[in-house]
Chains A and B, each alone.
Chain A
Amino acid sequence: MASISARRLAKELREIEGEGCPVGINLIKADDFATWWFTIEVMGDSLYQGEVHTLQFRFDPQYPISSPAVQFLVTDGRTAPVHPHVYSNGHICASILGNEWSPVLSVVAVCVTLQSMLASCKKKERPVDNDRYVRNAPDNPKKVCRFSDY
């Protein structure tokens, strides 16, 4: 039933267009039901004040049963935010994108979660194994073995 993802995404898109996104989150591109782009900005006093980053969502036919593949875009001069859970190639280590994903969550919910993840960061640093990970990273962040201690 591949249309389950299409219907659900159509619903979400209609909601976004109807009710708008939360503050700091903006939909840039949603031409198809495969890839969506958002910009995300952390409001208020935080280490990332003023920084704008681009998030890419990739959906598979099993959405929302399966989680979307989310990463920061690092092409065309964009950079990934410096955060202990964000690798320099844009891959994100977050529980809700892995084994804690639930069909109840939505694209907007994920954006908000990532926003709060950035906002609650105490120190701007890359993950400990950043270089090793980036060297061996696959194209799809979902193909990485996730650890569940977040």
Chain B
Amino acid sequence: MSLYNYVDTPNNNLVCCICRTPFTDPATTRTCAHTFCQECILQALSHSPICPVDRSPLSLNDLEPANPIVRSLVDELVVECTHRLEGCEHTCQRHILASHLREECLYSEVQCLEEECEEFVKRGEMEAHLKEHGESSESREQEEEQDAAETKKYPEGNKNKESLPSPQERQITLLTEQNLLLRHRVGTLESTVQTMRKEMVAVKSALGPWYRPEGYIYPSTELPSSIQPYAASSSSAQHPSSYAWTGQLESARIPENVIIDGIPAYLWPEYPRNPTSVTAPDGTPLDYASFFPPESELIDYPSALRRPSNPGHRVHSSEHMQPNTQQVPGYRSTTIAPLNLGTSLEGALGGLRESVVSLAMGMDSLGRRSEIALTNETMRLGEEVMSLRAGLHGLRMQVHAMMVERNALVTGRPTEGTESGIMGWMPGGRFAAMQGGQVPPSITKL
């Protein structure tokens, strides 16, 4: 969009609504028949794919060159020469201005006609400039003057070129437009690529160790099959209390010949299932056989419980749970497998879920156990209290009897005291003494 000074105010219909100047290379929309400068509408479309006038959807394909009549009207608007301020008073139709500047205008700069001189001189000053050259060598002066005179006439003979631009020029403008278009597209594509790259980086970092490039081969399973995801989710839809059991049955490769307390080992809820992947805090693989008391000594503390390794809970960044020891006879610790990065994300999630399931079961059994313990304690205490109460009651009865006897004896016979009376203080004989009316030995003997 070059800047023209129009001699007359152009008709409003010929003015582009985006740049508010008469159209330069007008393009019309096929869909809604609005006309804009090619450049203006390209810029507007790169910002938002709608027609600026009526906001209807618009794309580059919907643009076509404007009606030739519009084109001619705009091209024939009379403009002033761009060198107006320097003195050129020439006015002409807009499409002619280019050739005027190129070939006629006295104020446009051209390269010196001398072959060796590379200065740019205004056409009007060319004569003077050439004279300067001439002053340096007289032999060329005349020739140069003649050349200068001819050049001065040169633009006069070029009036026949005032018609439409040559095919080359048209092609150049077409290519420039296409170039512009392509540039826009490349820019958009580049920014898209940039955005997508950033997204990729973010996704990669989010996945972390689970980012699997195409064709990744999973290493052979490091975990025993007990931690592999199985149909726990489907079985969990069934009766909740039984799913854990069936799950253990399927997954745990527990030796079938291990029998604890008459019940196969795999039915114990706390039977740990990871014989190979869990290590004690000191690094040595846990020896699970030692966790289980011999069949007949269920009440004994398992020898492993006496290990000083883990007095209490220690959780390692939510991934590895130490075996939890409690001083409860017959307790089997629940162990959680470490996070397995070898399998896929779903595998790791399944493994974590298993750990959560086993934790929940551990907690359930813990709850049950503590309830039982509490009940037992309560009952025992109740019994003790009852026996104490009975004893106390007995004592009270004794005291009461003694007091009664003493009173009777004190009020009845205050002076007598026989051994038989003393004998009468014996528990078995007190009633006999009361009945027999014997004398207590003294008041002090209570």
In the complex the two chains form, is B3's CB within 8 Å of A7's CB? yes
Q: How far is the CB of B244 from chain A (nearest CB, A)?
A: 49
Contact (Cβ within 8 A) A103 B21: no
Give the docked Cα–Cα distance between A62 and B274 (Å). 66
Beyond A102-B53, A102-B55, A104-B53, is A11–B21 a contact (Cβ under 8 Å)? yes
Inter-chain contacts of A102 with B (CB < 8 A): 50, 52-53, 55
In this complex, what residue of A is CB-closest to B18?
A: A103
Given contacts A102-B55, A104-B53, contact A4 B21 (CB under 8 A): no
A7 x B1 contact (CB < 8 A): yes
Min distance, Cβ B199 to any Cβ of chain A, angstroms: 20
Within 8 A of B (CB), among A1-23: 1, 4, 7-8, 11-12
- List residues of B (1-58) whose CB comes within 8 Å of A's CBs: 1, 3, 17-21, 39-40, 43-44, 47, 50, 52-53, 55
Check A1–B43 contact: CB distance below 8 A. yes
Is the C-beta of A68 less than 8 angstroms from some C-beta in chain B? no
Beyond A11-B21, A103-B17, A104-B18, whether A4 also contacts B43 by CB under 8 A is yes
Question: What's the count of A-B pairs with C-beta under 8 Å?
Answer: 40
Identify the closest chain A residue to B43 (Cβ). Answer: A65
Residue of A nearest to B41 (CB): A103
Cβ-neighbour of B19 out of A7, A62, A66, A100 (below 8 A): A7
* Residues on the A chain within 8 Å of B39, using CB: 1
Closest to B47 in A: A65
Chain B interface bracket (under 10, 10 to 19, 20 to 34, 35 or more): 10 to 19
A102–B17 Cα gap in the complex (Å)?
10
Whether B20 and A12, one on each chain, are in contact in the complex, defined by CB atoms closer than 8 angstroms, is yes
- The 8 Å CB contact of A11, one of B20, B47, B50, B55, is B20
A residues in contact with B53, CB < 8 Å? 102, 104
The answer to whether B1 and A103 touch across the interface, beta carbons within 8 angstroms, is: no
Q: How far is the CA of A70 from the CA of B129 in the complex (A)?
A: 55
Q: Would you call A64 an interface residue if the criterion is a C-beta within 8 Å of the partner chain's C-beta atoms? A: yes
| Cβ A8 vs Cβ B52 within 8 A | no
Q: Mark A33-68, 1 if CB is under 8 A from B, else 0.
A: 000000000000000000000000000001011100
Q: Is A62 in contact with B20, judged by CB distance below 8 angstroms?
A: no
Whether B44 pairs with A103 at a CB distance below 8 angstroms is: yes
Q: Which A residues are CB-close (under 8 A) to B19?
A: 4, 7-8, 11
Among residues of B, the one whose C-beta sits closest to the C-beta of A14 is B20
Partner of B47 from the list A7, A8, A12, A66 (CB cut-off 8 Å) is: A66
User: Contacts A102-B53, A102-B55 given: A8-B20 contact, CB under 8 Å?
Assistant: yes
Known: A100-B55, A102-B55, A104-B53. A64 touches B18 (CB 8 A): yes
When distances are taken between beta carbons in the complex, the residues of chain A under 8 Å from B20 are: 8, 11-12
Q: How far is the CA of A8 from the CA of B309 in the complex (A)?
A: 81
The 9 closest A-B pairs by CB, nearest first: A103-B18, A11-B20, A103-B52, A102-B52, A104-B17, A65-B47, A104-B52, A65-B43, A103-B44
| Sample (23) of A-B pairs whose CB atoms are under 8 Å apart | A1-B1, A4-B1, A4-B43, A7-B1, A7-B3, A7-B21, A8-B18, A11-B19, A12-B20, A62-B47, A64-B18, A66-B47, A100-B55, A102-B52, A102-B53, A102-B55, A103-B17, A103-B18, A103-B40, A103-B52, A104-B17, A104-B52, A104-B53
Query: Which residues of chain B have a CB within 8 Å of any CB of chain A?
Result: 1, 3, 17-21, 39-40, 43-44, 47, 50, 52-53, 55
